[in-house]
Amino acid sequence: MSVIASGITCESLYDGRVIAYTVSSVSRAAINQWSSIAVQTLQDWPKDRPYLALHDISKPGIGLLYAASVDNDIFNVGIVPAARPRIQEEILKPNPGWSLALALVVSPSLSGRFARLLFHDASQETSIQQKAYFDRSSALAWLAKMGGFAQ
């Protein structure tokens, strides 16, 4: 596990098939740093295998802060809204058959429920599968299924 910004860690799981980010505090600088790393990771990810990511914003109180920090665009693989067009044009468009899956882990608290409600199966990119979970193990099980491997 590595710290990529203040309050944000990253880990590679399942022999590098899943990238997992965990948010324990939110600041504009940390979110921007995470976005840069996430976009670079997407660019470098082998296009012959699915991009499987877990964004864990389940720490109490983080869901609402995170949603506000990213203009309620909580299912953006590039984190900040400004990264979305770049990802679309530079990464997704040149790789039309590439599949991506993002599992979001939110708190079962009120803020977590609100964060989960912000996304109700409405994806802006049809090539990106997205789901919200209240626990990490269910999110990882779904990602493993999306990647075609067993946990």
Does residue 123 lie in a domain region? yes
Distance CA 55, CA 73 (A): 13
Residue 123: how many other CB atoms lie within 10 Å: 12
User: Which tens digit of pLDDT belongs to each residue from 100-132?
Assistant: 999 999 988 755 566 556 555 444 545 789 999
Does residue 140 lie in a domain region? yes
Domain that includes residue 52, residue range: 2-146
Q: How many domains does the chain have?
A: 1
Strand pairing class (18-23; 8-13)? antiparallel
Does residue 151 lie in a domain region? no
User: Which tens digit of pLDDT belongs to each residue from 60-95?
Assistant: 889 888 988 999 888 999 999 999 999 999 999 999
Does residue 72 lie in a domain region? yes
Closest to 98 measured CA to CA, from 151, 149, 52, 144: 52
CATH number of the domain that residue 56 is part of = 3.30.750
Paired tokens of 30: 């940390």
Residue 55: how many other CB atoms lie within 10 Å: 27
